[in-house]
Structure 1
Amino acid sequence: MNNYPKLHNATWPGLVGKGPDSEPIIPFDSLLEMTATAEVDGVKFDGLDIGLLEPHFDLNDPDEAKKLAEKVSKYNLKVGSLVAPIWAGSAMGTADQRKIFVEMVRKSCEFGQKLKELGVRDYGVVRIDSAAGVGDWAKDPVGNTKQIVATFKEACDVAAEFGEKLAAEGEICWGAMHSWKHMVDTLEAVDRPNIGFQADMSHTFLYTLGYNAPEHRIIPEGADLHDREVVKAALKTVTDALRPWTIDFHVAQNDGSVFGSGSHDKTGRHCQATDPNGLLDISHDAGYWLRDENGNLTKAMQHICWDGCMFPNAVMENQQTWNDILAAMIKVRDAHGWGA
């Protein structure tokens, strides 16, 4: 029986793309309860990955970690990776913006350390991005990338003080991270032992189509995206380049399109696990990230997480959604998991 990697749900989809200019934010307690209630053939989620964003969390509250630990413990869940709320700053901004960026990483690492001390977090990373748009980055690609790299280095040094690793999210809307080649170049330039890559099956599939970086497109324009051999070859190219860096992994589905809601830029559309328009064979294609080029398990992540950012609230508030997601996660673990 495979009991690794542990199976996690995410809380940030209750926040990302929500708010005054979109649908209402879904309360953390609601997400926690739906996660804990999900069950498929006696199997339940093992934990949650947490977005440390207001109004779910206040990092200035010294008791916030304790309150979270008490909530998840009641449901016998663990906390895994944390999303640092770095968007009040920018890795490519002014000196003050870069300072805020690093300070948010520090606060997130401190929060993570408290959760470890409270016994509810045994694994996971702190997730970051450049907090910079592709358009702004493109005004000076060389200079802006150097600035992002310098900020990331400083953030890595701060994270190292807490024994944390930072995972740079591969998403087409973040400058210097918006293609698979840019992402590799940025990680290589940072050159710190505690930085890696966060792969999301939806976002990284868009890398193959060259959105925001047509020069790095892999699947030719006009190709049949329902041709599995075309998709598999493209995924192999991307994963061979980024797998060695991958330290955090999101299971997801994508239909080859982009989507944004609220204030969030357009990025790889997250589809429901059962979406008939999904182009990914979730359990098979997860193997490109979870196994090496020879088909051997990397065991690089002790847990994996589902990401369904910008799902409509009607979908997220339907318990069946989470049961379907859990079922897809179980299939991934059945195919690529291992025993303790």
Structure 2
Amino acid sequence: MTNALFSPFSVRGLTVPNRIVMAPMTRSFSPNGVPGDNVADYYERRAAHDVGLIITEGTTVDRLGAGNDENVPMFHGDEALAGWKTICERTQAAGGKIAPQLWHTGMMRKAGTGHFPDAVTDSPSGLTHHGKAVMDAPSEADVDDMVMSFARSAKHAADLGFDAIEIHGAHGYLIDEFFWGVMNQREDRYGGDLAQRATFAADVIRECRKAVGANMPIILRFSQWKQQEFTAKLAETPAELEAFLKVFVDAGVDVLHCSQRRYQEPEFEGSTLNLAGWAKKLTGLPTITVGSVGLNSDFIGAFRGQDSGAASLDDVIERLERGEFDMVAVGRALLQDPEWASKVKAGDFDKLSDYDAKALHTLY
């Protein structure tokens, strides 16, 4: 039953040993933005137990206002990069592949927070998710530097020996704010309809490709929903989604990581395909599905201290077998149990644990 999960997968210059991806999960265990041995232990432990590709917790690019928590790791600066080099080497030595998730929190950052509290908060248009103006819109030169901040961190990832990079374009953070018409009302090349509002991310992808070279895969994580508005949808129809995703295909992205709160929910009426299924159908690119895999409730409850029971993997494996998507990202189940993938591989489904919400705030 689990053969599909444990078959190798290749994209661009990378072959991963199986289809299980560790989803990025913010934990805030890197004081002053520097990941230490405890963070290396965390990823190494999962790589040693059959996780094929680890996508790290969100790690901030070098725009000073990129982060909203001083304990979130940075992906710039000598000390932080030294920590990431150790993490990369130890994860690979344990048999895993690893990609940093490059992140800018945008307007999700409150003024006075993060690694550089005095920094200006970046945004597309200076608007909140209610469309309220709280600052001036950044100049095109500032937006261009936001683009290049991702490319600079991508270059660090290539230099440190990482296997791939993921660009965080989901969940209401900076790149996703450019996608969302409520927050992006620019009148230059970065504004317009949905496909035009994807220009910022396309520029990020192109500049990251220049930075990492021809052989390193670039993953883009995107979502319809926002933390600011769970019911938000960028694309209301498959045709709108196709036009939106084509921008990233043309820019040279390799993999689409399609974030849902619950992976099993159909994306559009009249089809059982989820978001990853539609993205693959419309673009032909490999896709990663994610959203409450192996658990019976979504992650929002975890932030309210709610536990979650283990759930069957039959459905996600059946979808993988029929080619709806190519890889399966697992979040809280792997946060709870570093041996989760090994237990699945061995068929020890009865040993898969319920999720204890307290695990969100522990090292594991």
- TM-score norm. by structure 2 comes to 0.55
Q: How many residue pairs align between the two structures?
A: 268
Partner of 1:260: 300
For structure 1, the residue ranges without an aligned partner over 5 or more in a row are 20-26, 39-43, 210-216, 220-232, 265-269, 292-300, 332-340
More helix by share: 1
| Residue 242 (structure 2) pairs with residue 184 (structure 1) | yes
Q: In structure 2, the residue corresponding to 1:198 is in which secondary structure? A: strand
After superposition, the Cα gap between the structure-2 partners of 1:316 and 1:134, relative to the gap in structure 1 and judged at 3 Å, is same
Contact (CA 8 Å) 1:170, 1:183: kept in 2 or not?
A: no
After superposition, the Cα gap between the structure-2 partners of 1:260 and 1:155, relative to the gap in structure 1 and judged at 3 Å, is same
CA distance in 2, matches of 1:137, 1:257: 30
Aligned equivalent of 2:169, options 128, 141, 154: 128
Larger RCO, structures 1/2 (Cα 8 Å, 6+ apart): 1
CA distance in 2, matches of 1:90, 1:289: 37
Partner of 2:277: 239
CA distance in 2, matches of 1:3, 1:237: 22
Superposed CA deviations along residues 216-275 of structure 1, whole A, max 9, x for unmatched, are x326xxxxxxxxxxxxx51289625534343452465277976537999xxxxx977x32
Superposed CA deviations along residues 65-110 of structure 1, whole A, max 9, x for unmatched, are 4433333434524443332112234567643573454133213311
| Residue 27 (structure 2) pairs with residue 15 (structure 1) | yes
Aligned equivalent of 1:103, options 143, 148, 155: 148
Aligned equivalent of 1:148, options 197, 202, 206: 197
CA distance in 2, matches of 1:85, 1:99: 16
Aligned equivalent of 2:269, options 215, 218, 225: 218
Aligned equivalent of 2:76, options 48, 51, 60: 60
| Residue 46 (structure 2) pairs with residue 35 (structure 1) | yes
CA distance in 2, matches of 1:47, 1:238: 17
Contact (CA 8 Å) 1:92, 1:98: kept in 2 or not?
A: no
Amino acid at match of 1:307: V
| Residue 287 (structure 2) pairs with residue 281 (structure 1) | no
Contact (CA 8 Å) 1:166, 1:196: kept in 2 or not?
A: yes
Partner of 1:297: none
Amino acid at match of 2:220: A
Aligned equivalent of 2:206, options 157, 171, 185: 157
After superposition, the Cα gap between the structure-2 partners of 1:166 and 1:123, relative to the gap in structure 1 and judged at 3 Å, is closer
Partner of 1:307: 330
Q: In structure 2, the residue corresponding to 1:53 is in which secondary structure? A: strand
Amino acid at match of 1:95: P
CA distance in 1, matches of 2:47, 2:160: 19
Amino acid at match of 1:32: Y
Deviation of residue 154 (structure 1)?
1.8
Deviation of residue 126 (structure 1)?
3.9
For structure 2, the residue ranges without an aligned partner over 5 or more in a row are 10-16, 31-37, 61-70, 107-121, 127-136, 227-231, 348-364
| Residue 101 (structure 2) pairs with residue 50 (structure 1) | no
After superposition, the Cα gap between the structure-2 partners of 1:207 and 1:102, relative to the gap in structure 1 and judged at 3 Å, is farther
Amino acid at match of 2:55: D
Superposed CA deviations along residues 140-161 of structure 1, whole A, max 9, x for unmatched, are 9x82525522212321221121
Partner of 1:213: none
Q: In structure 1, the residue corresponding to 2:176 is in which secondary structure? A: coil
Amino acid at match of 2:150: V
After superposition, the Cα gap between the structure-2 partners of 1:152 and 1:286, relative to the gap in structure 1 and judged at 3 Å, is same
Contact (CA 8 Å) 1:205, 1:235: kept in 2 or not?
A: no
- TM-score norm. by structure 1 comes to 0.58
Deviation of residue 185 (structure 1)?
1.9
Deviation of residue 128 (structure 1)?
3.1
Contact (CA 8 Å) 2:85, 2:160: kept in 1 or not?
A: yes
After superposition, the Cα gap between the structure-2 partners of 1:128 and 1:247, relative to the gap in structure 1 and judged at 3 Å, is farther
| Residue 221 (structure 2) pairs with residue 169 (structure 1) | yes
Partner of 1:222: none
Contact (CA 8 Å) 2:334, 2:340: kept in 1 or not?
A: no
Tell me how large the CA RMSD over aligned residues is.
4.6
